[in-house]
Amino acid sequence: MLKVLAARFQQGFRTVGYPDSPPTTPDRLRGLPVIREDLCQKGCQQCAEVCPTDAIVRDKGLQIDLGRCLFCGACAEACPAGAIQFSNDPRLAVSRREDLIIGKTGIKLASEPARQIFGQSIQLRQVSAGGCNGCEVDINVLTTVVFDLSRFGIKIVASPRHSDGLLITGPVTQNMKSATLDTFAAVPTPKLVVAVGTCAISGGIFRDHAEQNNGATGLLPVDLFIPGCPPHPITILDGLLRLIGRIKEP
């Protein structure tokens, strides 16, 4: 018992300050891209050529679809003019799929709580539907003392019957499709769907493989999109706090 207390004392207080203080992320984190369209050279396609998931959109100037982006940074390395750079801002969650396509004006973050009916608390059932277990790693840490998700009234629960919605990761493989839809059906209405990670939004690196469904977006009504491969835990936390109306600034 004394050893446990000594250990507890040694471990100290380790909960992050976010959202009361700004997020602290590694300087090399590849977070929100900053697009300088004015630097982009006409006719140059080098960023699009190196992108493994065709996330670069050239219809209207220079845009990146964060719903497809792996945040690998290959485009920023390839660009001879420095028109694409990745900042270490981890805030990326949006409430509409089209808001993930960002250009020179930046990102329109989710700023409205999804449904008023959920009030300040939300229970979510996580469904891992393909993918690589990377997003699960960064969801799992939210329940540790560092992020302490339950202090915000957000809980990951064991049964869909006890939940207000699903937290889906992975491209939704063929073999997980029926289980994912069954789990969604088991959630009482009204219900939410949060797509975590590029796979769940667009299929990610597995997009167009015959064995998967290009994410949850085409299968279920998604209320919150959290991009990243995988998203940083702060990115997920920020998104969930926006979902419950705890963070409102755009």
The binding site for another protein (CB under 8 A) comprises 3-4, 6-8, 10-11, 14, 26-30, 50, 52-53, 70-73, 88, 126-141, 143-146, 156, 158-160, 170-171, 173-176, 179, 183, 204-206, 209-212, 229-230, 232-233
Q: Hey, what are 193's tokens?
A: 């769907």
Question: Which value, to the nearest 10 degrees, does the dihedral of the CA atoms of residues 133, 134, 135, 140 take?
Answer: 80
Provide the minimum distance between the beta carbon of 134 and another protein in the complex, in angstroms, as a whole number: 3
| Sequence-distant (≥ 6) Cβ neighbours of residue 6 within 8 angstroms | none
User: Smaller CB distance to another protein: residue 98 or 182?
Assistant: 182
Q: What are phi and psi of 93, to 5 degrees?
A: -80, 135
User: Smaller CB distance to another protein: residue 166 or 247?
Assistant: 166
Provide the minimum distance between the beta carbon of 206 and another protein in the complex, in angstroms, as a whole number: 5
Provide the minimum distance between the beta carbon of 62 and another protein in the complex, in angstroms, as a whole number: 20
Provide the minimum distance between the beta carbon of 132 and another protein in the complex, in angstroms, as a whole number: 4
Note whether 75 and 102 are within 8 A (CB): no
| Sequence-distant (≥ 6) Cβ neighbours of residue 150 within 8 angstroms | 143
User: Smaller CB distance to another protein: residue 66 or 229?
Assistant: 229
Show the DSSP H helices in the chain as ranges. Answer: 2-11, 46-50, 74-78, 134-140, 174-186, 198-202, 233-243
User: Smaller CB distance to another protein: residue 45 or 133?
Assistant: 133
